[in-house]
Amino acid sequence: TLITNIATLVTNDPSLGWGSPRSSTFESGGSSPLGLVRDAAVVVEGDRVVWTGSSRKAPATDNRVDVQGRAVLPGFVDSHSHLVFAGDRTEEFHARMSGRPYTAGGIRTTVAATRAATDAELEANLLRYRHEALRQGTTTLETKSGYGLTVEDEARALRLAARHTEEVTYLGAHVVPPEYADDPAGYVDLVTGAMLDACAPHARWIDVFCEKGAFDGDQARAILTAGRQRGLQLRIHANQLTHGPGVRLAVELDAASADHCTHLTDADVDALANSRTVATLLPGAEFSTRAEWPDARRLLDAGVTVALSTDCNPGSSFTSSMPFCIALAVRDMGMTPDEAVWSATAGGAAALRRTDVGRLAPGARADLLVLDAPSHVHLAYRPGVPLVTQVWQGGERVV
Ligand code: NIG
Ligand code: FE
């Protein structure tokens, strides 16, 4: 299939177009990390991209799709969501917007609702939000357990998640559940013992919420290390609500990503800059908890690889929209439109240690979206407007 008449093609392929994400020409006019091609075409064969370039040089194919001067981007890679849950937290949000602060404690409300739900209810909910994200261009989606917090409920969350995505994360260490309130060490033993045994077969990743009110640095290290011994790869909720040891632990353990990164010391930024660990920023959480924005500019200027994700969950960030996160990141976190689009695609792929998604180059998965706009800049320029008009996943049009 030839997709042609593309006004702006985002390839994230540094060999095409201009610049690379870390190049010093990043901010000067005309340069971009996005490997932009104007008046472009893409050739898809099976589930892969086999060619990208100028439409004038495109090889002939039987099947031609004319996108009539629209922009084409790699599908969004949302590397952080919590979609296995029941119930919602409207009351808590309403109270927060009337002045009550966000704390980790609200998680327990969703835990109670999730435990009480049937498998069918949980799966229907998950599918609903998965489709919502897909309609907004998310073609790769990580999702986590963390609202079960018993051996059975965590394993069930991961089993359900694994039916719908390959990026599944075990987050038994979300908070200490009420029945272990007097014995947090006992809960860490469970998370690293019987619960890990039941969960590891269904997951690729292990995560921990390293925060006041959740798990401290020593507990987080014990949990992540146990997960790694069972073959899981590491990601961390770090430095969301307060300065803490999470980011430095992520770097020390070579976690794929440290997520949130809202409260960082200079030492945290330096540690990230000298590591392979991606800083994943979740602007929906700051928006929905009315909190201070993470400083993307500071991270980018230090040379840190930055990803953007939704953190979609019923408590702190009930949005599945990557375009919304891009708009926030540009407006309030100091990112250029090009940086934000890179972070929502190639950045997310880096946070999942994937090279087959987040870019449109020969060999990559044919996961792409078509915007009802001539360029990617419109994602931030036209906030709140549903611009995603086609979505292709593995070479098939799905939206
Ligand atoms: O990423 N920080 C921890 N977990 C979620 C919040 C979950 C909730 O409030 O239900 C987050 O923000
Ligand atoms: Fe989260």
ipTM: 0.94
Index of the ligand 1 atom closest to the CA of residue 109: 10
- Class of 77-351 per CATH? alpha beta
Q: What is the pLDDT of residue 17?
A: 55
CATH topology of domain 2-75+358-397: Urease, subunit C; domain 1 (2.30.40)
Side-chain-facing half-sphere of 254: CA atoms under 13 Å: 4
Q: What are phi and psi of 376, to 5 degrees?
A: -65, -25
Q: How far is the CA of 56 from the centre of ligand 2 (A)?
A: 45
Ligand 1, pocket-test mutation among 174, 289, 320, most atoms within 8 A of CB? 174
Q: How far is the CA of 15 from the centre of ligand 2 (A)?
A: 34
Index of the ligand 1 atom closest to the CA of residue 259: 1
> How much of the chain, in percent, has pLDDT values that exceed 70?
96
Closest ligand to Cα 85: 1
CB-count exposure of residue 395 (10 Å: 0-12, 13-18, 19+): middle
- Please indicate whether residue 107, judged by its CB atom, sits closer than 6 Å to ligand 1: yes
Report which residue type is found at 328.
L
Can you give the residue ranges of every domain in the chain? 2-75+358-397, 77-351
- What would the 3-class secondary structure string for 153-187 be? HHHHHHHHHHCCCCEEEEEEECCCCHHHCCCHHHH
Single out the residue of 342, 50, 354 nearest to residue 205, CA to CA.
354
Residue 394 annotated as binding site = no
Same fold for the pair 2-75+358-397 and 77-351? no
Q: Could you read off the pLDDT of 334-373 as tens digits, one per residue? A: 999 999 999 999 999 999 999 999 999 999 999 999 999 9
Report field, pTM of the whole predicted structure over 0.90: yes
Q: Could you read off the pLDDT of 168-201 as tens digits, one per residue? A: 999 999 999 999 999 999 999 999 999 999 999 9
Closest ligand to Cα 103: 1
Atom 3 (ligand 1): residue with closest C-alpha? 209
Q: How far is the CA of 237 from the centre of ligand 2 (A)?
A: 6
| pLDDT reading at 202 higher than 80 | yes
Alpha-carbon separation of residue 150 from 250, 297, 385 (angstroms)? 25, 40, 40
